[in-house]
Homo-oligomer: A and B are copies of this chain.
Amino acid sequence: MKISEAFIPTLREVPADAVIVSHRLMFRAGMIRKLSNGLFAYLPLGLRSFRKIETIVREEMDATGSLEIKPTVVVPGELWKESGRWNAYGDALMRIKNRTGADFVVSPTAEEAFTALVRDELSSYRQLPISLYQINTKYRDEVRPRYGVMRGREFMMKDAYSFHTDEKSLDETYRKMGTAYRRVFKRCALTVIPVQADSGAMGGSGSEEIMVESEIGDNTLLLCRCCTYAANVEKAGCLPDYTAQPDTDAAKAAAAGIPPIEKIDTPNVKTIEELCAFLKTDAKSFIKTLVYKAINVELDLSKTPGSMRPEKRSSAAGLPAREAQAYPEAFFAVAIRGDLDINETKLSALLKAASVELAGEDDVRRITGAPVGFAGPVGLGTVPLIADLSVTTINDGICGGLAKDLHYRHAAFGRDFNAWMVADVRTVRAGDRCPQCSGELYEKKGNELGHIFKLGSKYTDSMNVTYLDEDGKNRVTIMGCYGLGLDRTLASIIEEHHDEDGIIWPMSVAPYQVIIVPIKYEGAVKQTADSLEAALERMKVECLLDDRDERPGVKFKDADLIGIPVRIVVGEKNLAGNAPRVELKRRSEKENRLVPVSSIVDEVTGIIQAELAGLDS
């Protein structure tokens, strides 16, 4: 391909909103252009790399036995109402009314469409498992799209969905997908971090995110310095830096030598910092208590303590089964050591709630009998108390006194108060100890490239996907789902493989494998360049030939910018004599060397095959 015919509008400058390397380089290399905020068009060079990623993903999906299908991008709103996500999804869901007033969505994900398709074909256990995928356009109406295709509004996602009779079968597909994902990213030369992830909101029971490190990552990851432990902060666990005492008798015993609990006046002192200063102590002595409102709680709350009992939904008509059985809202007090933070994702998962949020002022006043700032576990009789493990070790603590300007000191878990539940609900942070090996955890920012999860029966329940089992009984299938963002994968490759001059493409996803740069495209140089291009293309090598009438410096700069892995420079001087030679340089290396024209094709195909084989091993 002649560069003059390839529509590669390279640029020296970038727009101000291109703040990350991949966005800047994709723009400068003429790979993408912006149509609107969060909407990008791939130009020919960008699309070539994009299609290579698409092919790698397709090959690895096919290898798992998953079958490709193609539902529409615009799907009926009815399906989303069936699943309950028409309301639950939030504003990122692009909802449309068509000319007849019917509701549609521009798919941000496709659980509903796949579930509906499988439901209509499924009758017997003999048909299961089924694993289907698509590679198709998705749309999410992000509030703040940014970082180029890393976080666009429209993007391409590979999403697979599997349907099973039992956990064992789901586990097997889940494992295969995990392996396939690792292979995809290896072939793309990406260093990924597979992390345990929470799947609370998706209703799942096992999930892994495949992350890449990124300074602008959406996710905080906790990694162990000593072992392979890696987890999203939403799910990360840690060893306690204390000896937990969930056994209340033990806790009571530990408090034996502590003075009895005692009220203290704390006028105008509300924050923990103020209180620490006032009492000349530190936050670790403090039992912080927060009141939470949990939404759509599926946990059985019929036997919880407290005078304020949550009520089930009075009318369940038209709602998916799960929602109909849930408590629309329920309040809880959550106590944790003063220097720690509550992890709301863990709390949601613990309560099997759709979400949790801090209770409002009025609710706090109603529940604690005091303004915000004086909640405490001692004497709280209205709502159930959940104690983080950290609280169980405090046998001489300070806590809110359930009245304005009142606190307690010498409060002891097990002696002065008990909890309805003791659980790990803390947010882990750098410096905490690895739950696997007790090594030190550290933090990284990461971007999610893929996510695999066991969905369980969230969608198959609400959308009623059943089959007859071996005994002729009607059963609900369980489901897994597996997403992978193609645009983000592309951008991440550039984030990992570049230098100050431009992109350094791994061979597997390079838009072209070789660029031929004639110093001046005329005479013998032109002839050699042309015949080299023809010879390489006969060997199925993807070649770009810089036929422009530009200075060599400009051509070299562009070749470096667009990052073609192998560069061949054809110059008059090296062609002279009996053994004409050309200059060979790999984009990833500093040095170039002269290679006889007679052996350059072999040399280049050797380089390409070796690199591809290394990535695909």
Chain A residues with CB under 8 Å of chain B are 5-7, 9, 33, 35-36, 39-44, 47, 50, 65, 67-76, 78-79, 91-92, 94, 96, 98-99, 106, 113, 116-117, 120-121, 130, 132, 136-137, 139, 141, 143, 153-154
Contacts and interface: CB of A to CB of B under 8 A. Distances in A.
Nearest to A73: B137
Nearest to A129: B5
15 contacts: A9-B121, A35-B72, A35-B79, A35-B113, A36-B75, A36-B78, A39-B74, A44-B68, A44-B132, A47-B70, A72-B154, A73-B73, A74-B106, A74-B153, A106-B106
Nearest to A6: B67
Given A7-B130, A94-B98, A117-B41, A50 B65 contact: no
A67 B39 contact: no
Given A75-B39, A137-B137, A153-B74, A69 B98 contact: no
User: How many copies of this protein are present in the complex?
Assistant: 2
A330 B74 CA distance: 40
A93 to B, nearest CB: 9
Contact of A39 (B40, B76, B94, B96): B76
Q: Is the interface of A mostly helix, strand, loop or mixed?
A: mixed
Kindly name the residue among A36, A40, A79 whose own CB sees the greatest number of chain B CB atoms within 10 A: A36
A65 B94 CA distance: 37
Kindly name the residue among A5, A7, A44 whose own CB sees the greatest number of chain B CB atoms within 10 A: A7
A74 B98 CA distance: 15
Contacts of A9: 121
B154 A73 contact: yes
Contacts of A71: 35, 41-42
Nearest to A155: B72
A36 B67 contact: no
A354 to B, nearest CB: 21
A35 B76 contact: yes
A139 B72 CA distance: 10
Nearest to A65: B5
Contacts of A33: 117, 120-121
A26 to B, nearest CB: 13
Nearest to A67: B44
B98 A141 contact: yes
Nearest to A130: B7
A348 to B, nearest CB: 25
B72 A39 contact: yes
A69 B91 contact: no
Contact of A69 (B47, B99, B143): B47
